[in-house]
Amino acid sequence: MISFNEDAKIFTLQSKGFMYQMKVLKEGHLAHLRAGHPVPDPDLSHLLRPNELPDCSETGRDKASFMDNVMLEFPCGGIGDYREPCIEVMDNAGHLACDLRYVSYSISEGKPELKGLPATFAAAEEAQTLSIKLLDNLLGLEVTLFYTVFEDLGAIARSAKATSLKDKLFIKRFLSLCLDLSSSSWDMITLSGAWARERYANRVPLHAGKQRIESSRGESSHQFNPFIALAEKGASEDSGKAFGFSFVYSGNFLAQAEISSMGMPRVVMGINPQNFTWVLEAGESFQSPEAILSYSEEGIGGMSRTLHDLYRKHLIRSPYVSKKRPVLINNWEATYFNFDTDKLLGICREAAKAGIELFVLDDGWFGKRNDDNTSLGDWYANEAKLPGGLSRLANEVNALGMKFGLWFEPEMISPESELYKEHPDWCIHIPGRSRTLARNQLVLDYSRKEVRDHIYSMVKAVLSSANIEYVKWDMNRNLSEVGNAIYAPDRQQEISHRYVLGVYDLMERLVSDFPNLLLENCSGGGARFDPGMLYYSPQIWTSDNVDPIERLKIQSGTSLAYPPSAMGAHVGDVPCHSNGRITPISTRGNVAMFGTFGFELDLTKISKEDLEQVPALIAQYHKCNDLARDGDLYRIGNIFTDNTWDAWMFVSKDKSEALLEYVQVLASSNTPSRRIQLKGLKEGFWYKNDETGMVLSAETLMHDGLDMWIKGDFSSKVIRFEKAKV
């Protein structure tokens, strides 16, 4: 998979359908040669255009033009390359230039862990890792670049480690990935949004200058997701070249494409350099988070399927990754803060009758919390609301045949809390400056171990006090006034990253101490839906918006990078609490079946007709979830370009089963029904339609299609196909 041509000094990384090559130049700079379709040629040095861009190592004449135009693997600032660098280092004299040259390489089987950071993993026979050592002699700075190639997937994982060999250095920027390409005919796809409309897909042509998305909010954010794609002009959902770039990190990030004056794109991805400086004392190292590069020649759909497989096989560690998750009911939209044991058990009794398997008690069970103004940090049950505490409630829920789960927001502190009275300095703050509230709460300083230890001991005590089999870990505000009274002045700019490392430390402790716990991440809906979180939890709450029509956009956008099996999806009440829309429960169910499936409404209050449909929806989930969870996703509709309908398919890996889901947003009269062409089936196979019993060839289903005869706005259907003998 990884080889080095000693004569031409070319590294070749080859995985399924993807080849990545780089070359050590005469002066030791590491150039990027090409990334794309595999080719057999042993030496493609001519792709660096030596006639137009002579390597100036002999004369040194106009070296700046060379540095500013050559394709590089890990560009440095301050030495004539004026495009976006991956690294900026300040020495003790205040100088900023850095010039990294090749030293050596090594290749190992499998993939080493990144200590303290989430990262993809692979067994020795599944992947190889290349480490390339670079050195700036003057600074005494060693940088090791890591490239892992996954044998069965068109993807590589990249990260970098900086080590100071002699003096104190200030790392002002240290990105994880750079990809220089030679032609500018690409569109950039990003996922942007806000609370209740997370991850809408945008596609725009690359143009001269820098097109960037970022977060400086302390988490990956509602506003932009740490993912971009470059799709070749004209590439569609099903054909053409597409690169996916995904950052395995949950904090401040930068993802940027820049078109240089020569029309060449440079993509970079990593920790956002804004408000970041990391101090390296002599002998210390800094490891960057990991970034993923994936490549597909089957369009945007192929890129998504590669990322889904990569994350399901090589990132999500949870034992639940390919297990059916219990059908849950969450009381948030059913009761908000207004509940007691009796009310909750009333909902649970109806839920148990309908076949629901897990009850999740959301916000409001602890301290004195009856609204969102108090008690974050006081992690003990409110016995006034829950007499007998959590263990009594959990026992009663268990007695109904259901599991019990619990909501926490462990990173937060309410100014009105016992914890704040005891430790007013435990929140992130700048001494002397007023502390900006959001949802009337402050963020705990997870860069401090004593804070993490204290919170974890409370969380652990609660989890050990009752039979709690699921946790929803929430995070409901962004960071502000990032600082503390503890760190030295020159280490204050480390706090945003140390905060994220602290969150990871706690999640690691949680999943190690409670290995069978089903953990769902959440952040004011879906503000921290990122690969970093998937390392710890197999599912993430996708959005507080459970309207199935707006969910089409949210789930479709999210699916560009993330597997549906990771998307928390619930059937909510009508009118929908976010937008007032009324939709049939069948469509709410069909759309929630795309992801993990659950309910978020008061079953004692919904209409009799709707209640009667719940068991059938659950039965359908049990029938379809294996396919949705482990199969390949094919998007058929594009809700961003035509919002009158949507459709998608899940196809089993062996192509013997498939599921078509169709939603008609807007019905029309006296027009032929919409004819949908299926995708992903295997030519030569015949499939039986479980709705009509009709057996048709894959060819007919994919080329002629099926008529979606259905009446009514917001109506939907799910059809299952099984391979048939003819």
Catalytic residue IDs: 474, 544
CB of 519 to ligand GLA, least distance (A): 14
Q: How far is the CB of 14 from ligand GLA (least distance, A)?
A: 43
Nearer to ligand GLA, 100 or 471 (CB): 471
- Using CB under 6 A, which of the segments 395-403, 504-512, 520-528, 624-632 binds ligand GLA? 520-528
Which pair of tokens denotes residue 405? Answer: 């789960």
Closer of 371 and 642 to ligand GLA (Cβ) = 371
* Site membership for ligand GLA, residue 544 (CB under 6 A): yes
Nearest one of 124, 150, 119, 156 to 508, comparing CA atoms: 119
Among residues 163 and 476, whose Cβ is nearest to ligand GLA?
476
Integer angstrom CA distances of residue 279 from 163, 173, 285 = 11, 11, 10
Residue 611: CB minimum distance to ligand GLA, A: 23
User: 558 φ, ψ to 5°?
Assistant: -60, -35
Q: Which of residues 18 and 594 has its CB atom nearest to ligand GLA in the complex?
A: 594
- Residue number, 198 or 237, with CB nearest to ligand GLA: 198
3-state helix, strand, coil in the chain (%, to 5): 20, 35, 45
Is 470 a binding residue for ligand GLA by CB under 6 A? The answer is no
Token output for 72:
């590089």
Q: How far is the CB of 343 from ligand GLA (least distance, A)?
A: 17
- Give the x/- contact pattern for ligand GLA in 473-492, rule: CB under 6 A: -x-x----------------
Quick one: which of 218, 289, 367, 525 contacts ligand GLA (CB under 6 A)? 525
Question: Between 502 and 572, whose beta carbon lies closer to ligand GLA?
Answer: 572
- Alpha-carbon torsion 53, 58, 59, 63, what sign? positive
8 vs 45: CA distance, rounded Å: 8
Q: Which window, 34-42, 165-173, 388-396, 518-526, contacts ligand GLA (CB under 6 A)?
A: 518-526
DSSP E strands in 184-262: the ranges are 186-194, 197-205, 209-215, 224-232, 242-248, 253-259
Q: 3-state DSSP call for residue 538? A: coil
- Tell me which residues in 678-717 interact with ligand GLA (CB under 6 A): none
Length of the chain as a residue count: 726
User: Taking the complex as a whole, how short is the minimal distance between the CB of residue 405 and ligand GLA, in angstroms?
Assistant: 12
Output the smallest distance, CB 219 to ligand GLA, in A.
Answer: 13
Taking CB under 6 A as the rule, does residue 522 contact ligand GLA? yes
Q: Name the token pair of 450.
A: 């004593």
247-268 burial string, b = 16+ CB within 10 Å, else e?
Answer: bbbbbbbbbbbbbbeeebbbbb
**In the complex, least distance from residue 217 CB atom to ligand GLA, rounded to whole angstroms:** 16
Number of H helices, E strands in the chain: 13, 38
Return the beta strands (E) in 528-566 as ranges. 539-541
| Distance of closest approach, residue 223 Cβ to ligand GLA, in angstroms | 16
Q: Which two tokens stand for residue 330?
A: 């969450």
Is-cis flag, bond preceding 40, omega within 30?
no
Range in contact with ligand GLA (rule: CB under 6 A) among 41-49, 75-83, 521-529, 681-689? 521-529
Closest by Cα among 180, 1, 21 to 11: 21
Residue type, 84: E
Quick one: 374 or 476, whose CB is closer to ligand GLA?
Answer: 476
Work out whether 405 is an interface residue with ligand GLA (CB under 6 A): no
Beta bridge partners of 669: none
* 146 touching ligand GLA, by CB under 6 A: no
Closest CA to 471 of 360, 309, 602, 606: 360
Q: What CA–CA distance (Å, rounded) separates 531 from 292?
A: 10
Q: Could you tell me which stretch among 101-109, 184-192, 519-527, 634-642 binds ligand GLA (CB under 6 A)?
A: 519-527
Element containing residue 622 per DSSP (H, E): helix 608-630
Q: Count the neighbouring beta carbons within 10 Å of the beta carbon of residue 42.
A: 11
**What are the backbone angles phi and psi of residue 171, rounded to the nearest 5°?**
-85, 110
Query: Minimum Å distance from CB 128 to ligand GLA?
Result: 40
Cα–Cα distance between 674 and 636 in angstroms, integer?
12
Displacement of CA 528 from its chain's centroid (Å): 8
Closest to 294 in 3D by CA, of 220, 231, 206: 231
Backbone Cα Rg of the chain: 27
> Which of 243, 407, 408, 662 forms a contact with ligand GLA (CB under 6 A)?
407
Q: How far apart are CA 148 and CA 2, in angstroms?
A: 9
Residue 332 interacting with ligand GLA (CB under 6 A): yes
Nearest to 118 by CA among 462, 689, 531: 531
Q: Judged by CB, which is closer to ligand GLA: 77, or 524? A: 524
Distance CA(477)–CA(474), nearest Å, equals: 10
529 touching ligand GLA, by CB under 6 A: no
Query: Binding of ligand GLA at residue 362 (CB under 6 A)?
Result: yes
* Of 62-70, 247-255, 517-525, 708-716: span binding ligand GLA (CB under 6 A): 517-525
Minimum CB separation of residue 363 from ligand GLA in Å reads: 3
Applying CB under 6 A, does 366 fall inside the site for ligand GLA? Answer: no
Q: In this complex, which beta carbon is closest to ligand GLA, that of residue 294 or of residue 558?
A: 558
Angle between helices 389-399 and 341-354 (to 10 degrees): 20
Would you say 306 or 543 has its CB closer to ligand GLA? 543
Stretch that binds ligand GLA, among 109-117, 236-244, 493-501, 522-530 (CB under 6 A): 522-530
| 524 part of the interface to ligand GLA, by CB under 6 A | yes
Beta-bridged to residue 156, according to DSSP, are 149, 293
Q: Which is nearer to ligand GLA, 360 or 393 (CB)?
A: 360
CB of 537 to ligand GLA, least distance (A): 14
Is residue 602 near ligand GLA by the rule CB under 6 A? no
363 binds ligand GLA, rule: CB under 6 A: yes
| Count of chain residues binding ligand GLA (CB under 6 A) | 11
- Does residue 339 touch ligand GLA according to CB under 6 A? no
Rounded to whole angstroms, the Cα distance separating 97 from 196 reads 44
Q: Give 527 or 678: the residue with its C-beta nearer to ligand GLA.
A: 527
Taking the complex as a whole, how short is the minimal distance between the CB of residue 402 and ligand GLA, in angstroms?
Answer: 19
Closest-by-Cβ residue to ligand GLA is 363
Torsion sign (Cα): 233, 238, 243, 248: positive
Binding site for ligand GLA (CB under 6 A): 332, 362-363, 407, 474, 476, 522, 524-525, 541, 544
